[in-house]
A = this chain, B = another copy of it.
Amino acid sequence: MAANSQFSMAVHVLMMLARSREENVKSDYIAKSVNTNPVVIRRLLGQLNHANLVVSQTGANGGTRLARCPKEINLAEVYKAVSCGEVFALHGKSPNPDCPVGKNIEAVLCNLQKEIYQSIGDKLSQFTLQSVFEMVEPAA
């Protein structure tokens, strides 16, 4: 369990919210569909809330709703909300600064990282929650 499935879970969670518009959905209910623990869902919802994609309410009849309608949220926003911004990691230990390659490689890789992150964002911004929902439930 060391692969980052936060984005996958986030999309799943948001699909659950999308099919219950204007209604508070409970973490417990979502957890059963995702097949995980409610706390995992609540942590994820915390990140989505932080990014203003969802709104939560404590207390009886509490739960979570989408902050906007599914047409107005795209997957790039979701990705940014849950990712650390790194598609690949930079070196663990710093390269040797006495080597002409080692000296500069990190800066170059860092720029490359940003370019890739941007590409992913561009691609994901083409998908709205609405469009993904139509793929998940074509009949609806």
Contacts and interface: CB of A to CB of B under 8 A. Distances in A.
Nearest to A118: B123
User: How many subunits of this chain does the assembly comprise?
Assistant: 2
A11 interface: yes
A58 interface: no
A35 B105 contact: no
In this complex, the member of A4, A89, A104 whose beta carbon has the largest number of chain B beta carbons within 10 angstroms is A89
A51 interface: no
Contacts of A136: 100-101, 104-105, 108
Interface of A: 1-9, 11-12, 15-16, 19, 32-36, 75, 83, 86-96, 99-102, 104-105, 108-109, 111-112, 115-116, 119-120, 122-124, 127, 132, 135-137
19 contacts: A1-B92, A3-B92, A5-B90, A5-B91, A5-B92, A6-B88, A8-B90, A11-B108, A11-B109, A11-B112, A16-B101, A35-B94, A36-B93, A87-B87, A101-B136, A104-B136, A111-B135, A116-B120, A119-B122
Given A6-B88, A35-B93, A108-B132, 11 more contacts: A8-B90, A16-B101, A32-B96, A33-B102, A36-B91, A87-B120, A105-B136, A111-B135, A112-B127, A116-B123, A119-B120
